[in-house]
Chain A
Amino acid sequence: MREIQLDTIRDAVAKLCIDANCLLGDDVVRALKNGLATEESPAGKDILNQLLENEQIARKEMMPICQDTGWAVVWVEMGSGVRVQGGELYDAIQQGVAKGYKDGFLRKSIVEDPLRRKNTGTNTPAIIYTDIVPGDGLKITVQPKGGGSENMSEVKMLSASDGADGIAKFVLDRVWRSQANPCPPIIAGIGIGGTFEKCAMLAKHSLLREIGSVHPDPFYAEMEQSLLERINRLGIGPQGLGGRVTALAVFIEAFPCHIATMPCAVNINCHAARHQSVTL
């Protein structure tokens, strides 16, 4: 059994929260720059430039890219040969999130009850998804998820007979109805298959993929490409002011399905597609 100290995990999570919120990924920066070449609207170009300038300021001053520093969604891949010393894994993660949001001057956006809405003041609880995997490593990914784009997300129980066309229709309709709300350019994460909740998790997980990476299954690679083109024909454009660059990427994750169902989830992310990982 390999032992990892609680403090080590806590401090690593705190750093991931800060880095994810202040340092935008190279893939997003590249995608925004590529967008400058395809955007036809002058206002749209101007916005893409502002987002790039914003990224530079955030990086230099280590301040958040966006004031909505999000839900801390934490993905854990824990080797079956690992044990946490000095406490429980989940305590280590929750303490790390609270520390990161405090030390990094990140906004605390979580209320303790959906109806009574009192801020917890620590940005905890984090949402934690754990996978037990072979080996003695511990991989942790922090994915701060903003509320504005989360609100534009949806799960739908489609029928198998709806097929790929039904999925495309649902995705395009969801993006169309979102308009300026999720701060386009967006990234659309799509989960297909599994159960009702599983497909939503697939959609969220798909948002961790690198922009520009190609889906390993050519069937879905083509579907992603076609959806991206169709979304960018909608004309919503940067910030919904009209233009070509509505989405930077479409990511699909598919999973086995029950013979009677075909759930589909669309999780919308903004350009602040934040995530950082570490392997301890």
Chain B
Amino acid sequence: MAKKITAPLTAETVKDLRAGDSVLISGTIYTGRDLAHKRLTDALKAGEKLPFDLAGAVIYYVGPSPAKPGQVIGSAGPTTSYRMDAYSPMLMEKGLRGMIGKGNRTQPVLDAMKQRGAVYFAAVGGAAALIARTIKAAKVIAYDDLGPEAVRELKVEDFPAIVINDTYGGDLYVAGVAKYKKD
């Protein structure tokens, strides 16, 4: 059974999650990928205000395809997460509690997650039309000039994801593959 959770995430919600848990996320999340991460961290370094509040925030690594007339958003599956690894620890330091993407993270990110109490979720890469159905509202709130890479505020309902890394060092990618590896 999937756990229903609400974003932004509280410290209690995060503590309750374990690698391997299926979750359905409802509430408000933000999109951000390569260039948006660079701008967000540049803004932090310069002491500027960010376009959204990082406290408890969840960032979804996605660059959606454009919405057709009548659609809230186009196809919206996750992009590969390691490209954000250079920036994520700094965002966690400022309150980020959840990241949604796909693929393994590097050690500095895993360490920061344990230290700061943040979790990493995977969404199903390639299931982009299916995932879009759980996004009920979308608006660009920053960096419009980046096109697909702009930061969007998304209202989601039962957005499906799986906990890959929890705050206790659990790693579903490592454990899952070890279970099925034959050679």
Instruction: Check if B35 is an interface residue, CB within 8 A of chain A.
Output: yes
Are the C-beta atoms of A67 and B102 separated by less than 8 Å?
Answer: no
Are the C-beta atoms of B129 and A242 separated by less than 8 Å?
Answer: no
Are the C-beta atoms of A272 and B162 separated by less than 8 Å?
Answer: no
Are the C-beta atoms of A43 and B176 separated by less than 8 Å?
Answer: yes
| Chain B residues whose C-beta falls within 8 Å of the C-beta of A230 in the assembled complex | 183
Are the C-beta atoms of A148 and B125 separated by less than 8 Å?
Answer: yes
Cross-chain contact of A271 among B126, B132, B148, B180 (Cβ < 8 A): B126
| Chain A residues whose C-beta falls within 8 Å of the C-beta of B77 in the assembled complex | 66-68
| Chain B residues whose C-beta falls within 8 Å of the C-beta of A64 in the assembled complex | 65, 74-75, 128-129
| Chain A residues whose C-beta falls within 8 Å of the C-beta of B62 in the assembled complex | 67
Are the C-beta atoms of B177 and A272 separated by less than 8 Å?
Answer: no
Cross-chain contact of A181 among B82, B126, B128, B177 (Cβ < 8 A): B82
Q: How far is the CB of A19 from chain B (nearest CB, A)?
A: 15
Q: How far is the CA of A68 from the CA of B162 in the complex (A)?
A: 21
Name the residue among A58, A108, A147, A239 with the largest chain B CB count within 10 angstroms.
A239
Are the C-beta atoms of A180 and B104 separated by less than 8 Å?
Answer: yes
| Chain B residues whose C-beta falls within 8 Å of the C-beta of A240 in the assembled complex | 102-104, 173, 176-177
Q: Which residues of A from 132 to 164 have beta carbons under 8 Å from B?
A: 147-148, 151
Name the residue among B35, B133, B179 with the largest chain A CB count within 10 angstroms.
B179
How many residues on chain A are close to B (CB under 8 Å)? 48
Cross-chain contact of B128 among A66, A121, A234, A236 (Cβ < 8 A): A66
Q: How far is the CB of B19 from chain A (nearest CB, A)?
A: 10
| Chain B residues whose C-beta falls within 8 Å of the C-beta of A40 in the assembled complex | 180
Are the C-beta atoms of B173 and A65 separated by less than 8 Å?
Answer: no
Q: How far is the CB of B94 from chain A (nearest CB, A)?
A: 25
Q: Which residues of B from 130 to 183 have beta carbons under 8 Å from A?
A: 130, 132-133, 146-149, 162, 172-173, 175-183
7 contacts between A and B (CB under 8 A): A53-B127, A63-B132, A64-B65, A64-B129, A148-B80, A179-B177, A239-B102
Shortest 9 CB-CB contacts between residues of A and residues of B:
A242-B176, A235-B181, A183-B125, A235-B180, A181-B103, A233-B182, A107-B65, A54-B130, A67-B75
Known: A41-B179, A237-B180, A272-B126. 18 other contacts (CB 8 A): A40-B180, A41-B176, A51-B124, A54-B128, A63-B75, A107-B63, A108-B148, A117-B35, A119-B147, A148-B79, A148-B103, A179-B104, A235-B178, A235-B180, A235-B181, A240-B177, A241-B176, A242-B180
